[in-house]
C-alpha cells in the first residue's frame, strides 16, 4: 500500500520533533535538571530555569530561520507552541532551588 504525501509529511515532522525533544533534554541536562524532572517533554520544559528557557527559544528560532525544510519549520512551530503553553502555566524554578533540594 503506497503512503500518502500527508503520511510522509507527518513522519518527516515526527522525526524532527523527536530530534528537537532530544535537544530539549540535552539543554535540561546541561542546566542541571535532574533525570526525575525529565521524564517527559512537558515536565522537562517546566523544569527548565529561565536562562535555559531563553536558550531553548533561541535555538528553536535559529533552527526555524536557518532552514527551508517545511518539516523542520512545522516541528519547530509545534515545539515553540508547546513550550509557550507550558511556560505560561509554570514559572521557572528558582536558580538555587535545585542545589538546596527544594525543586
State the pLDDT confidence band at 11, using cuts at 50, 70 and 90.
Answer: confident
Asked whether residue 102 is assigned to any structural domain, the reply reads: no
Task: Please check whether residue 45 lies inside any domain of the structure.
Answer: yes
* pLDDT over 90 (residue 35): yes
Q: CB–CB of 80/72 below 8 Å? A: no
CA angle at residue 12 from 6 to 16, to 5 degrees? 140
Q: Do the domain assignments include residue 48?
A: yes
Write out pLDDT tens, residues 59-101.
999 999 999 999 999 999 999 999 999 999 999 997 655 444 4
- 98 inside domain: no
Within a domain: 34 = yes
- Picking from 16, 22, 6, 5, the residue whose alpha carbon sits closest to that of residue 73 is 16
Is pLDDT at 50 greater than 80 in this prediction?
yes
Number of domains the chain is built from: 1
Handedness of CA 53, 28, 82, 4 (dihedral sign): positive
Predicted pLDDT at 10: 84
* Mean model confidence pLDDT for the chain: 87
- Burial (CB count within 10 angstroms: exposed 0-12, middle 13-18, buried 19+), residue 16: buried
Task: State residue 55's pLDDT score.
Answer: 97
Range of the domain at 87: 5-92
Amino acid at each position: 500500500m503506497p503512503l500518502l504525501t500527508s503520511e510522509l509529511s507527518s513522519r518527516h515532522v515526527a522525526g524532527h520533533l523527536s530530534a528537537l525533544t532530544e535537544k530539549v533534554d540535552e539543554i535540561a541536562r546541561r542546566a542541571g535538571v535532574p533525570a526525575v524532572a525529565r521524564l517527559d517533554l512537558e515536565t522537562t520544559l517546566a523544569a527548565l530555569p529561565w536562562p535555559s528557557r531563553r536558550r531553548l527559544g533561541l535555538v528553536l528560532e535559529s533552527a526555524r530561520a536557518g532552514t527551508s525544510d517545511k518539516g523542520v519549520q512545522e516541528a519547530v512551530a509545534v515545539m515553540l507552541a508547546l513550550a509557550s503553553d507550558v511556560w505560561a502555566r509554570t514559572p521557572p524554578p528558582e536558580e538555587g532551588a535545585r542545589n538546596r533540594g527544594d525543586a
